[in-house]
Amino acid sequence: MQVELLDVVGAVSDREWAEEWAGQLDDLLLEVGRFFPRVGVRCRAAACVRGLLGPVSRKNGWQLAEYAGDGAPWNQQHLLDRARWDVEGMRDFTRRHVVAALADDGEGAGPGGAGVLVVDETGFAKRGTASAGVARQYSGALGVSSPARSG
Protein backbone atom coordinates (compact mmCIF):
# COMPACT_ATOMS: atom_id res chain seq x y z
CA MET A 1 0.00 0.00 0.00
CA GLN A 2 1.42 3.37 -1.06
CA VAL A 3 0.79 6.16 1.45
CA GLU A 4 1.09 9.82 0.49
CA LEU A 5 2.87 11.49 3.39
CA LEU A 6 3.00 15.09 2.25
CA ASP A 7 1.11 16.73 -0.58
CA VAL A 8 2.80 20.00 -1.51
CA VAL A 9 1.01 22.08 -4.10
CA GLY A 10 3.22 22.71 -7.14
CA ALA A 11 2.46 26.43 -7.09
CA VAL A 12 4.26 26.82 -3.76
CA SER A 13 7.91 27.75 -4.19
CA ASP A 14 10.68 26.30 -2.05
CA ARG A 15 11.16 29.73 -0.52
CA GLU A 16 7.46 30.04 0.41
CA TRP A 17 7.50 26.54 1.85
CA ALA A 18 10.64 27.29 3.89
CA GLU A 19 9.16 30.57 5.15
CA GLU A 20 5.98 28.79 6.23
CA TRP A 21 7.97 26.15 8.13
CA ALA A 22 10.19 28.85 9.68
CA GLY A 23 7.07 30.67 10.87
CA GLN A 24 5.66 27.48 12.35
CA LEU A 25 8.98 26.81 14.10
CA ASP A 26 8.99 30.35 15.54
CA ASP A 27 5.44 29.83 16.84
CA LEU A 28 6.39 26.48 18.39
CA LEU A 29 9.50 27.93 20.06
CA LEU A 30 7.40 30.74 21.53
CA GLU A 31 4.91 28.20 22.82
CA VAL A 32 7.53 26.01 24.52
CA GLY A 33 9.35 29.04 25.91
CA ARG A 34 7.29 28.77 29.09
CA PHE A 35 9.23 25.64 30.05
CA PHE A 36 12.45 27.69 30.20
CA PRO A 37 11.97 30.28 32.96
CA ARG A 38 15.21 32.19 32.27
CA VAL A 39 15.60 34.18 29.07
CA GLY A 40 19.17 32.99 28.45
CA VAL A 41 18.22 29.33 28.75
CA ARG A 42 15.18 29.92 26.51
CA CYS A 43 17.42 31.46 23.83
CA ARG A 44 19.94 28.59 24.10
CA ALA A 45 17.15 26.04 23.74
CA ALA A 46 15.85 27.79 20.62
CA ALA A 47 19.38 27.94 19.18
CA CYS A 48 19.87 24.24 19.93
CA VAL A 49 16.66 23.30 18.10
CA ARG A 50 17.55 25.52 15.15
CA GLY A 51 20.98 23.90 14.98
CA LEU A 52 19.53 20.40 15.11
CA LEU A 53 17.15 21.28 12.26
CA GLY A 54 19.70 23.35 10.36
CA PRO A 55 22.39 22.49 7.84
CA VAL A 56 24.98 21.55 10.47
CA SER A 57 26.91 18.53 9.22
CA ARG A 58 27.59 17.04 12.65
CA LYS A 59 25.18 17.63 15.50
CA ASN A 60 27.71 17.90 18.34
CA GLY A 61 28.13 20.62 20.96
CA TRP A 62 30.90 22.45 19.14
CA GLN A 63 29.10 22.62 15.82
CA LEU A 64 25.74 23.53 17.36
CA ALA A 65 27.48 26.28 19.33
CA GLU A 66 29.19 27.63 16.22
CA TYR A 67 25.89 27.58 14.33
CA ALA A 68 24.35 29.58 17.21
CA GLY A 69 27.21 32.10 17.05
CA ASP A 70 29.05 30.95 20.16
CA GLY A 71 32.79 30.38 20.15
CA ALA A 72 32.67 27.31 22.38
CA PRO A 73 30.11 24.66 23.42
CA TRP A 74 29.80 25.74 27.06
CA ASN A 75 26.33 27.31 26.61
CA GLN A 76 24.98 24.18 24.90
CA GLN A 77 26.50 21.99 27.60
CA HIS A 78 24.97 24.18 30.29
CA LEU A 79 21.54 23.85 28.66
CA LEU A 80 21.72 20.06 28.54
CA ASP A 81 23.46 19.44 31.87
CA ARG A 82 22.96 22.15 34.48
CA ALA A 83 20.24 24.59 33.38
CA ARG A 84 16.94 24.51 35.20
CA TRP A 85 13.89 24.01 33.04
CA ASP A 86 10.66 22.03 33.20
CA VAL A 87 11.72 18.72 31.66
CA GLU A 88 8.48 16.92 32.56
CA GLY A 89 6.35 19.77 31.22
CA MET A 90 8.30 19.74 27.96
CA ARG A 91 7.91 15.95 27.71
CA ASP A 92 4.16 16.18 28.24
CA PHE A 93 3.83 19.06 25.75
CA THR A 94 5.85 17.13 23.14
CA ARG A 95 3.67 14.06 23.59
CA ARG A 96 0.46 16.09 23.20
CA HIS A 97 1.87 17.91 20.17
CA VAL A 98 2.91 14.68 18.42
CA VAL A 99 -0.34 12.86 19.20
CA ALA A 100 -2.35 15.82 17.89
CA ALA A 101 -0.27 15.89 14.71
CA LEU A 102 -0.84 12.16 14.17
CA ALA A 103 -4.59 12.41 14.79
CA ASP A 104 -6.28 12.22 11.40
CA ASP A 105 -9.86 11.24 12.17
CA GLY A 106 -9.28 7.55 11.43
CA GLU A 107 -8.06 8.09 7.87
CA GLY A 108 -4.36 7.41 8.41
CA ALA A 109 -2.18 4.46 7.49
CA GLY A 110 -1.68 3.02 10.97
CA PRO A 111 -3.71 0.57 13.06
CA GLY A 112 -7.28 1.76 13.36
CA GLY A 113 -6.57 4.56 10.91
CA ALA A 114 -4.18 6.37 13.23
CA GLY A 115 -1.19 8.26 11.91
CA VAL A 116 2.19 6.61 12.26
CA LEU A 117 5.43 8.07 13.58
CA VAL A 118 8.68 6.24 12.86
CA VAL A 119 11.89 7.46 14.48
CA ASP A 120 15.07 5.87 13.15
CA GLU A 121 18.28 7.67 13.95
CA THR A 122 20.48 4.98 12.42
CA GLY A 123 19.76 5.89 8.80
CA PHE A 124 23.02 7.59 7.95
CA ALA A 125 26.43 6.24 7.13
CA LYS A 126 28.98 6.77 9.88
CA ARG A 127 32.18 8.63 9.05
CA GLY A 128 35.65 8.70 10.53
CA THR A 129 37.39 6.24 12.80
CA ALA A 130 37.88 8.14 16.06
CA SER A 131 34.31 8.49 17.34
CA ALA A 132 32.27 5.85 19.12
CA GLY A 133 30.04 3.84 16.81
CA VAL A 134 31.90 4.40 13.55
CA ALA A 135 33.16 0.84 13.18
CA ARG A 136 31.63 -1.50 10.61
CA GLN A 137 27.95 -1.88 11.49
CA TYR A 138 24.57 -2.76 10.08
CA SER A 139 22.19 0.07 9.28
CA GLY A 140 18.62 -0.97 8.46
CA ALA A 141 17.93 2.21 6.52
CA LEU A 142 21.08 1.77 4.41
CA GLY A 143 20.47 -1.95 4.08
CA VAL A 144 24.14 -2.88 4.20
CA SER A 145 26.90 -3.45 6.61
CA SER A 146 29.07 -0.51 5.69
CA PRO A 147 32.68 0.00 6.70
CA ALA A 148 33.63 3.22 8.41
CA ARG A 149 34.76 5.89 6.01
CA SER A 150 37.46 8.36 6.88
CA GLY A 151 36.69 12.03 6.61
pLDDT in tens, 103-116: 776 666 655 666 77
Average confidence score pLDDT of the chain: 77
Q: What percent of the chain has pLDDT over 70?
A: 63
Higher pLDDT, 89 or 56: 89
Confidence of residue 117 (pLDDT cuts 50, 70, 90): confident
Flag whether the pTM goes above 0.85: no
Q: Is the pLDDT of residue 14 over 90?
A: no
**Residue range 5-32: average pLDDT?**
75
Lowest average pLDDT, out of 21-30, 90-99, 114-123, goes to 114-123
**Residue range 58-85: average pLDDT?**
90
pLDDT of residue 132: 63
**Residue range 47-52: average pLDDT?**
90
Q: Is the pLDDT of residue 87 over 80?
A: yes
Q: What is the 3-state secondary structure (H, E, C) of the chain?
A: CCCCCCCCCCCCCHHHHHHHHHHHHHHHHHHHHHHCCCHHHHHHHHHHHHHHHCCCCCCCHHHHHHHHCCCCCHHHHHHHHCCCCCHHHHHHHHHHHHHHHHCCCCCCCCHHHCCCCCCCCCCCCCECCCCCCCCCEEECCCCEEECCECC
